[in-house]
Amino acid sequence: MTPRPSDRPLGSSGLTTPPLILGGNVFGWTADRSASISVLDAFVAGGGRMVDTADAYSSWVPGHSGGESETVIGDWIAQRGRRDDVVIATKVGFELFGSAGLAPDRIIACAEGSLRRLRTDYIDLYFAHRDDPGTPLDSTLEAFHRLVTSGKVRAIGASNYTAQRLSEALDVSAVHALTPFTVLQPEYNLVERAKFEGPLQNLCVERGVAVVPYFALASGFLTGKYRGKGDTAKGPRAGAAARYLNPKGLGVLKALDDVAAEAKATPAQVALAWLAAQPAIAAPIASATTVPQVEELVGALRLTLTADQLRTLDAASR
């Protein structure tokens, strides 16, 4: 087995992970069960340790109802016969089986469903998948706290929260002595910077919240495989990448190509290494559907960009 890179702390959660997280949104969707298990095996063999999923994955696919990704990961955990050497993150909040939101009873029920599908008795990191303004923050946080004190969840995080709502949630936890959100999962990458940089990133730095961005490769755009209109007809995620086919996006690809050539890496590896170097970032999340893709991703674990290379990418993506 390849030696694992040094683990990084996930804020004050008590969890640690190497500087890359495997996204599980593709499991049971664009990667069937067999391919998914091969990807998971290759990720761990390459030095990876943390896998991110959600109860709603992949409910958007015709014929799916949600829970497909968790089920595949649960099969993998059972098949390998070991649980404590991997970190599993999942989420609650999006629509699943006809209900949505972060009402306390729903959080508890959805956690039990995730535990069954994952075939485990604890979730390492449990995210609020998106904010629920219709439920008081203290009620939501009390439900998460109950899961932590019962041992079913080890740490909690927030996904898709604004700076204001995350700040309010941290304050509520402090006032009521509840388990706080210690990890944030926002959308953030070289072509999507405005949503995170500024107040939200500053808050995470100031309050010690670890950040694990999703869409780290911008739906595959930052791999460099989508460079023209003809490329965006390839695969179910290509349409999302098409919106970056503009002068700014192409300029980012040019900078990635230049840095990749200099660093003897691939554009995807460079894009992930740029993210890992940003303030508050603990580890980016990236998905893969094949073993060669995994091998490319884990190469980013060992890539450190120079200050000049970081400046080149920063300038191209502003």
Residue identified by tokens 């780290």 is: 216
User: Is 57 annotated as catalytic?
Assistant: yes
CA separation for the pair 127, 20 (Å, rounded): 18
**Nearest to 132, CA basis, from 101, 104, 159:** 101
CA separation for the pair 3, 247 (Å, rounded): 40
Q: Cβ(172)–Cβ(141) under 8 Å? A: yes
Full DSSP string of 26-76: TBTTTB-HHHHHHHHHHHHHTT--EEE--TTTTTTSTT--S-HHHHHHHHH
In Å, how far from its chain's centre is CA 236?
Answer: 19
Angle at 317 between CA 311 and CA 318, to 5 degrees: 90
Q: Cβ(247)–Cβ(14) under 8 Å? A: no
- Catalytic-role residue among 57, 188, 214, 226: 57
Distance set, CA 22 to CA 78, 88, 112, 253 (Å):
18, 10, 23, 23
**Nearest to 186, CA basis, from 277, 282, 107, 110:** 282
Active site residues: 57
